[in-house]
Amino acid sequence: MAVSIGRQGWVGVAFETSPGTGGTTPTKYIPYTSCTLHNVVEVIDDEAAKGIRERAWGSVAARTRGEGDITINVDVENLPYLLIPALGTCMTSEVESGVYLHTITRKASNPPTTICLNVNDTVETRRYTYGVVNTLELTFSDGLVTATAGILSKAPTAGSGTPSITEENILAFKDAKIYFGSTMAEAENKAATDTDPIGLTAFTLTINNNAEAQYESGSSSPAQISLGQFELSGNYTLFFEDTTERSAHESQTKRAMCIVFTGGSIGTSSTEKIQITIPQFHITERSVDTAPAGFVTENPTFVGDYDSTYGSIIVKIWNQTGTSTYTCCTSSSSSSSSSSSSSSG
Amino acid sequence: MKIINKYHKRLAFIVDGETFGIEAKEIKEVDDRLGSKLLESVWIEEVKDISQTKKIDIQDNKQKGRKTLKTK
């Protein structure tokens, strides 16, 4: 027997072709800072009275499922494995040879877009099929940008994998810029021209699918996992220098937000980029930190609204991975290149 | 065996606690034990030696020729 340290474990991931099917061989091994994915076994004790004082006479394994969180440092190649299933719909176009633009939006229906995870905990490898990203929290303050995905899956089985790691440009707060506008067009235009970015000291965006594992007779593992109501929320912190946020809270001003993370150069003339657009949001709470020894900051909490034209969130990611790997993505007919992406990594 | 990395980036494999690096589109010769492990990755493919395949074809043709002579 030999002991191992946690960083010798690994997580391999691939998109499933349909919930619970395919994706058993990982296409990407995601470097993580935390992984708590495990088999949940709800145990029912046999507590029936049988003439003696002992409470338990045995037990039955009842409902089981895979459940836990994975936290990663954000980059343009690994984030899509968590973000695409969190939102559900992806359209891909090739902007230049080997460079792809993925436009990710919220899926309308309840069946999820799923991933298959092979998780090695240093002792064994277990496979979590029907992997649903129930929640996703994207956050940064004065360090790296991180994403934490709350995952639900079927009960794990024996898994496998040969881990291979790629070097990516991990993103930090310095790579993030946030733009506000009274409309989505204004916020996006500011982002496109890098005009008037808002200086934030912390930012968090939370996607919650309210997914539920549904059990049926015949199996202790979920028959299916379905998406519930969709919620988009977050909060940000900035130095208290004017009354803009206070006023927006009090008068419930609806604004648009565009968050842009910029990475390294790819292709001949492209840049790694993640652009998150929230067409409309409103502030639900706002606190002011007036600690005597500190600089005064304000911390608005927001909720993303549904906009009948644009929906509630649009995420665009520019990277070098095509639809042969992101099998759940649909190739857009507006692709600027007619070359096939079948051999793209 | 010879293998090729079809991924668009360098892959660093971890096999038995050691790393094995292969650049994007690079072809490398590895021993069969390591090669069979690496082939479990969707991005690694075995490269068949084309010149060797041609030799077999020629030998086959020669064999066929001999058979023809014997028949006559």
- Report the distance separating Cα A341 and Cα A67, nearest Å: 34
Helix (H) or strand (E) holding A283: strand A270-289
Kindly state the average pLDDT of the residues B41-56.
76
Task: Write the residue in B9, B37, B38 that is nearest to A166 by C-beta.
Answer: B9
- Alpha carbon of B22: minimum distance to chain A alpha carbons (Å): 10
CB-CB under 8 Å, B40 with A161:
yes
Kindly state the average pLDDT of the residues A51-80.
96
Longest dimension (CA), chain B: 63
For A134-154, how does the pLDDT look when each residue is reduced to its tens digit (9 = 90+)?
999 999 999 999 999 999 999
- Report the distance separating Cα B19 and Cα B9, nearest Å: 16
CB-CB under 8 Å, B38 with A10:
no
pTM of structure: 0.89
- Alpha carbon of A344: minimum distance to chain B alpha carbons (Å): 7
A176 closest CA partner among A156, A155, A204, A152 = A204
Contact A106, A311 (CB under 8 A): yes
Residue A338 has pLDDT above 80, yes or no: no
CB-CB under 8 Å, B40 with A163:
no
Task: Write the residue in A14, A160, A167 that is nearest to B10 by C-beta.
Answer: A167
Contact A131, A30 (CB under 8 A): no
Question: Which residues does B16 contact at the CB level (< 8 Å), separation at least 6?
Answer: none
Reported confidence tier of residue B54, pLDDT bands at 50, 70, 90 = low
Chain B CA closest to residue A77:
B9
**Residue B30 — φ and ψ, nearest 5°?**
-135, 160
Residue A342 has pLDDT above 80, yes or no: no
- Alpha carbon of A21: minimum distance to chain B alpha carbons (Å): 17
The DSSP result for chain B, as a single string, is -EEEE-SSS-EEEEETTEEEEE-TT-EEE--HHHHHHHTTSTTEEEEP-HHHHHHHHHHHHHHHHHHHHHH-
For A312-333, how does the pLDDT look when each residue is reduced to its tens digit (9 = 90+)?
999 999 999 999 899 999 998 6
